[in-house]
Amino acid sequence: MTSICTAFILSKTEIITNAHCVDDAPYVHVVAEFSDTVGSIELVDKDYKLNDQSEVVTAYGYGVLNNIGPLILRRCDANYISDVEPANTFNISQTLYFTTGEATNDGEIIAHGDSGGPVVSKINGKIVGITMGIYGTTGGRGMFLPITLFLDFIHDPKSVKPIPPPLTPNEAKFIADITVPGKFLTAYKNELAHADENFQLEFNAIILSKTEILTCAYSVIGAPYVYVTVNKLSRNATKLKVTEDQIEIHEKYALSRFAFNVAKITLGEPLEFNDNVGSIDLVDKDYKMDDPSEMVTVYGDMVSDGTMRTRRYDTKYLDGAKCKPKYGAAFDANHLMCYTLDGSMGTPFTFGGPMISKKNNKLVGITIFHSGGKPVIFQPIAPLLDWIRKPKMRRNQRRRIA
């Protein structure tokens, strides 16, 4: 079976096209030859901004109209637009759309075979994008990716590290997502003076059992209630309201320190476990994190290219003594450890998220804090097992937090 895409010439040895045109293909045929009519074209600079929607662009491609041909190079002048509601499979922060405009494509701006073709600015004659498909049915808006997003990759493919794949349902089954409504963290009232009833912060959490959730203490302390979203990666997500009396803060936690920054939430009704929702095994009480070569996987939300999504990150953990100089007196090296995070991964919002050992596939830690440029702090799980497994204390039994 043969599939035809468009491509454009970057140099005498390099061409650019869409990944979906060549992915999994055992081989491809490239039809090109430099001549008076065949050559390369300039790309816009990395700081080029498509912000004038009156700017006209021209899309080129070998698309076959109405699936009947003929196979000839066509072009279409159009204005681009970026405020179209995206389909679920497309990322609005990375995809720009262009309208059908005044087309030479018989009303179709994009046809089968146009994928990978260049989108050229009529202002400077340089390539500003690469065609990727059509939004909607035949005759709908064409879509292109701004070329500036890929200039680093184009100029040096090895300099760009791959984005980790999204979690599969089984990998994410032990993750819950917590949304904390207004009146958040009364102890930090001065710091969050702008908070109101509509103010919300989101954290990760871990499913311990059908009725228990583990998360960071500072994500729930002082909140009159929180929402726990279970099965966050599924369309069948369940949102549960949890009141303050269902939340237990570790008795050794203090706002001035990072250690024991954990809270246990007891749900009013049991979760329904399925292929996407479930708990994960915890390490034993005598488990020691003393092998610096051991790899662990951290799960949680991270922001990359302006988009937050659940990601995973493989790393090695560091002894607490190596982290203390970075954080000072608030860091308790006797109870805490840390790990480094590659900046190319994005900004971590993994707080409350699980750390899984790649050696035994069990929960070994919970991420509790991160400050830019410093290692990410996590609390080992083994020292918490007695507290995690003991029955929930009644409200009048709890010691006041220092």
Distances (CA, A) of 159 to 130, 139, 152: 21, 38, 7
Tell me, yes or no, whether 145 and 18 share the same domain: yes
- Per-residue confidence (pLDDT) for residue 184, from 0 to 100: 45
Cα 157 to the center of its chain, rounded Å: 21
- The 10s digit of each residue's pLDDT in 312-345 is 888 899 888 888 998 888 899 999 999 887 766 6
**Tokens representing residue 360 in the block:** 């035994």
Tell me, yes or no, whether 126 and 214 share the same domain: no
CATH of residue 349's domain is 2.40.10.10
- Pairwise CA distance, residues 221 & 251, whole Å: 12
DSSP string, 340-360: ---GGG-EEE-TT-EEEETTT
- Pairwise CA distance, residues 266 & 210, whole Å: 9
Tell me, yes or no, whether 22 and 124 share the same domain: yes
Of 93-107, 137-151, 202-216, 337-351, where does the model show the most confidence? 202-216
Q: Is residue 164 part of a domain?
A: no
Higher pLDDT, 186 or 268: 268
Domain that holds residue 145: 8-159
What percent of the chain lies above the pLDDT cut of 90? 22
Tell me, yes or no, whether 76 and 189 share the same domain: no
Tell me, yes or no, whether 148 and 104 share the same domain: yes
Q: Is residue 401 part of a domain?
A: no
- Per-residue confidence (pLDDT) for residue 345, from 0 to 100: 63
Tell me, yes or no, whether 22 and 148 share the same domain: yes
Q: Is the pTM of this model over 0.75?
A: no
pLDDT at 195 over 60: no
| Mean pLDDT, rounded, for 273-294 | 89
- Per-residue confidence (pLDDT) for residue 397, from 0 to 100: 43
- Per-residue confidence (pLDDT) for residue 399, from 0 to 100: 41
Distances (CA, A) of 242 to 220, 247, 265, 277: 10, 8, 8, 18
| Mean pLDDT, rounded, for 216-233 | 83
Domain count, the chain: 3
Tell me, yes or no, whether 14 and 155 share the same domain: yes
Tell me, yes or no, whether 302 and 364 share the same domain: yes
For 255, other C-beta atoms within 10 Å of its C-beta total 15
- The 10s digit of each residue's pLDDT in 136-153 is 555 567 788 888 888 888
Q: Is residue 203 part of a domain?
A: yes
